[in-house]
Chains A and B, each alone.
Chain A
């Protein structure tokens, strides 16, 4: 069974631009969560999607948005990029997104904002 895939793996953007990251979950998984990982803050939860609906949201500004498609694939978008958005963005999928479900993580997209 293929794991969680994320594209692209690396991205360099400049301040003010926008970016779209993609995540393909494990086949059969309906929940997709996104996290921002930085050395100082660790993993911070961005949002979770289940059956094309945002079910949970973290404390990030509205510049961060996402969506999920009918095949469970998910995208996240960051508009008006800031230097502080430089981070590793991780996507994780699980069967149903229940509190006890194991999350399967992708390798991440490393975003650098110049």
Chain B
């Protein structure tokens, strides 16, 4: 069975500082990995996804994530955050044998002025 752990429920960071949101997964099969973002009062929106190939994935709004198979991690990073990045971020995993996607519990990113 697959599972996703987002290690931090909340992350405060100063504006223009770098940020890393951590995600670890467990799966017995090949995986597809996703990061979604949810802005206040909205649904989720895809930031980026890893399907295969290069382990460094670039997404929208300056975010990127690195797939690390040996550490079963898919951490999300941004070199310089803006107030508009205030949102909740969800890591998700799906696998070949099961169409169901599993979401982590989310990390709230608080941008401090």
- Which B residues, 46 to 60, have Cβ-Cβ distances below 8 Å to chain A? 46, 49, 51
- Pair A99/B44 contact, Cβ less than 8 Å: no
A55 within 8 A of B: yes
Q: Is B99 touching A100 in the complex (CB atoms < 8 A)?
A: no
Return the 5 tightest CB-CB contacts between A and B, nearest first: A105-B43, A42-B105, A99-B94, A43-B103, A105-B44
CB of B24, distance to nearest CB on chain A (Å): 15
**Contact status A48-B100, CB under 8 Å:** yes
Q: How far is the CA of A99 from the CA of B100 in the complex (A)?
A: 7
Which residues in window 83-113 of B have CB below 8 A to A? 90, 94-96, 98-106
Task: Report how many residues on chain B are interfacial, defined by Cβ distance under 8 Å.
Answer: 24
B→A interface (CB under 8 Å): 32, 34, 36, 41-46, 49, 51, 90, 94-96, 98-106
Interface residues on A, range: 20 to 34
User: Given known contacts A56-B100, A107-B41, is B49 in contact with A102 (CB within 8 Å)?
Assistant: yes
A4-44 contacts to B (CB < 8 Å): 4, 33, 35, 41-43
- A103 sits at the interface (CB 8 A): yes
Bound complex: CA of A43 vs CA of B107, how far in Å?
A: 12
